[in-house]
Amino acid sequence: MRTQIVAGNWKMNCNLDESLHLLNELKLKDFSKAEVEVVIAPTFTNLYAVHQNLNDSSIKISSQNINENEEGAYTGEISPDMLKSVGVEYVIIGHSERRAIYNESDELLAKKATAALKHDLKIMFCIGEMLDQRKADKHFDVVKDQLEKGLFHLSASEMENVVIAYEPVWAIGTGETASPEQAQEIHEHIRNVLAKKYNQNIADQTSILYGGSVKPNNAKEIFAKKDVDGGLIGGASLDANSFAEIVMSF
Ligand code: PGA
């Protein structure tokens, strides 16, 4: 049985006080009823404090980015070891905002994936097509290409620490979501691509999350699809009640 995960990507929101406040609200929710791993991704400056304040909560911490180098003259960057040292368990790699705004290439993302795994950090690797690519019916090829270039240098055993997040770019922050059927068909495709590259076991074990305007009112029907193993939640993760409702949609 693969792990079901609901992860909140806080993006560049919440200062320290706001992050701790949101965490405290989440800690009041009883996530134990949902058989799902709950992950939150605060911004770099708040990772340590959030981790220190988890207490006995089962919530896990993710960073939103990572640098591919070990250490050295990379002003403004954060290394894998730094993340590990403050309690980070997951890293989001390849979010479409990093790809689009910061020009992160597939080649760079591949290096980031290797660097994260070397430090025992699990990866949430984001893929997804843009609107014009979907309109041109290229979405299946686009995600396959992103997987091949960003992840397929990894071994089968390394893939055990990789979660994939399918996030159609046209659905991120737009209020428009993929229909449950659209999500299912592309998640199934992703699983088939994994099976072909690695083996059926790896494909069956890999959690594939959907992201893009997941809200309390649409989470249940998306999560009900057989190849959707959870969600990567942006906007709705900034509100503890909405995020908890999404978690409870399982
Ligand atoms: P959204 O963001 O839920 O606000 O659409 C999702 C994401 O960017 O991961």
Residues 52-91: tens digit of each pLDDT: 999 989 999 999 999 999 999 999 999 999 999 999 999 9
Structure-token pair, residue 21: 């406040």
Please give the full DSSP string across 110-179, using - where no structure is assigned: HHHHHHHHHTT-EEEEEE---HHHHHTT-HHHHHHHHHHHHTTTS-HHHHTTEEEEE--GGGTTTS----
Q: Which atom of ligand 1 is nearest to the CA of 213?
A: 5
Mean pLDDT of 145-174: 97
pLDDT for the residue numbered 183: 97
Confidence of residue 118 (pLDDT cuts 50, 70, 90): very high
> Which residue from 164, 214, 245 has its CB within 8 A of the most atoms of ligand 1, so it is best to mutate?
214
Confidence of residue 175 (pLDDT cuts 50, 70, 90): confident
pLDDT for the residue numbered 241: 98
pLDDT for the residue numbered 108: 98
Answer yes or no: is pLDDT of 13 > 80.
yes
What domains are defined for the chain? 5-247 (3.20.20.70)
Ligand 1 center from residue 188 Cα (angstroms): 21
Ligand 1 atom 6 nearest Cα = 234
Q: Kindly state if the Cβ of 173 falls inside 6 Å of ligand 1.
A: yes
Confidence of residue 234 (pLDDT cuts 50, 70, 90): very high
Answer yes or no: is pLDDT of 5 > 80.
yes
User: What amino acid positions are annotated as catalytic residues?
Assistant: 95, 167
Q: Which atom of ligand 1 is nearest to the CA of 96?
A: 8
Answer yes or no: is pLDDT of 1 > 80.
no
Ligand 1 center from residue 173 Cα (angstroms): 5
Quote the pTM value.
0.97
pLDDT for the residue numbered 250: 83
Ligand 1 center from residue 72 Cα (angstroms): 32
Ligand 1 center from residue 91 Cα (angstroms): 16
- Please give the mean pLDDT across all residues of the chain: 97
Structure-token pair, residue 79: 């290394």
